[in-house]
């Protein structure tokens, strides 16, 4: 099997971009310009593959630094595990959280920096999704998108339904000592025809779900994906916009 993917991060309505994403050990980010992988393909035969999105915490110091550091450490540490289990991935994420807090203590300009982090780690025989914060992991099966991750936002807590979506109770760094980390094995593992979507809240809060389901149900179209991501700003998004779209292909498909 192969993985067809397309990732893009845009400033959107903002002048700077605190979002970033990673594929395996490469971090994609830019302060002021859009970044894109272009349409690409990788093979499951090469082992484990990592896809993740991070959103630097708005209102905190150096959110873009936190996002980029977290993704760089994630690629180094996850892909060095060999065949990881959920507990090892929990430990990796907890370690990244501690290291972001440490960086904030060492450099006053970075104090309080934090980010969300969400993603998937895939192997031809299985995989995991993970999440801290309110970026999201979706899975496409039978033509429909299902959100795998749970937002760690205050409005998800009992009695807090009126709280703003972007007020989080868990993130990496952010000056918070205790955090919630979700890691779960993918039920059944990846299979041809499945799709995955990783997003920051600047996109998924304004996503046209039907359009994205259609785009993920066929061979990925970079132009159409770009058009859908840019539409989030017209729909009212005032945030950076980042999405990673993946589709599982049979090995013989190109």
Q: Map out the domains of the chain as residue ranges.
A: 2-249
Distance CA 183, CA 186 (A): 10
Q: What is this structure's pTM?
A: 0.94
Q: What is the pLDDT of residue 58?
A: 59
C-alpha Rg value of the chain to the nearest Å: 17
In angstroms, the CA 197 to CA 193 distance is 13
Phi, psi of 86 (to 5 degrees): -60, -40
| CATH H-level, domain 2-249: superfamily | PPM-type phosphatase domain (3.60.40.10)
| pLDDT score for 59 | 55
Q: Quick check: 28 and 38 in contact, CB under 8 A?
A: no
Task: For residue 160, report the phi and psi dihedrals to the nearest 5 degrees.
Answer: -115, 25
Whole-number Å distance between alpha carbons of 131 and 124: 21
Collapsing DSSP states into helix, strand and coil, what is residue 195? strand
For residues 78 and 50, the answer to whether their CB atoms sit within 8 Å is: yes
Give SS3 for 250. coil
Contacts of 158 (CB under 8 A, 6+ apart): none
Q: Give the per-residue pLDDT at 167.
A: 79
Cβ atoms within 10 A of the Cβ of 150, count? 13
222 alpha-carbon distance from chain centroid: 18
Q: Write the DSSP symbol of residue 221.
A: -
Report the candidate in 155, 246, 161, 157 with the shortest Cα–Cα distance to residue 201.
155
Q: What are phi and psi of 186, to 5 degrees?
A: -75, 125
Under-70 pLDDT residues of the chain: 58-61, 158, 165, 252-254
Instruction: Characterize 203-223 residue by residue with b for buried, 16 or more Cβ atoms within 10 angstroms of its Cβ, and e for exposed.
Output: bbbbbeeeebbebbeeebeee
Query: Which DSSP category does 190 fall into?
Result: -
Q: For residue range 48-98, what is the model confidence (pLDDT) as tens digits?
A: 999 999 999 855 669 999 999 999 999 999 998 888 999 999 999 999 999
- Provide the pLDDT for residue 60: 60
């Amino acid at each position: 099997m192969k993985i067809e993917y397309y990732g893009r991060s845009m400033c959107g309505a903002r002048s700077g971009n605190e979002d970033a994403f990673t594929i395996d050990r490469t971090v994609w980010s830019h302060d002021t310009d859009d970044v894109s992988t272009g349409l690409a393909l990788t093979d499951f035969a090469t082992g484990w593959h990592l896809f993740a999105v991070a959103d630097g915490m708005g209102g905190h110091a150096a959110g873009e630094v936190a996002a980029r550091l977290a993704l760089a450490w994630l690629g180094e540490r996850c892909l060095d595990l060999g065949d990881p289990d959920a507990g090892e991935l929990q430990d990796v994420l907890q370690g990244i959280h501690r290291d972001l807090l440490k960086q904030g203590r060492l450099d006053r300009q970075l104090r309080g920096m934090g980010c969300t982090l969400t993603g998937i780690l895939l192997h031809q025989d299985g995989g995991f999704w993970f999440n801290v914060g309110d970026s999201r992991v979706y899975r496409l099966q039978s033509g429909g998108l299902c959100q795998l991750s749970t937002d760690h936002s205050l409005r998800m807590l009992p009695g807090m339904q009126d709280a703003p979506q972007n007020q989080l109770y868990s993130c990496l760094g952010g000056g918070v000592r205790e955090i919630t980390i979700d890691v779960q094995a993918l039920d059944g593992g990846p299979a041809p025809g499945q799709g995955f979507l990783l997003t920051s809240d600047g996109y998924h809060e304004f996503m046209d779900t039907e359009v994205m389901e259609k785009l993920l149900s066929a061979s990925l179209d970079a132009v159409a994906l770009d058009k859908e991501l840019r539409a989030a700003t017209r729909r009212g998004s005032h945030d950076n916009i980042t999405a990673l779209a993946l589709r599982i292909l049979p090995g013989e498909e190109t």
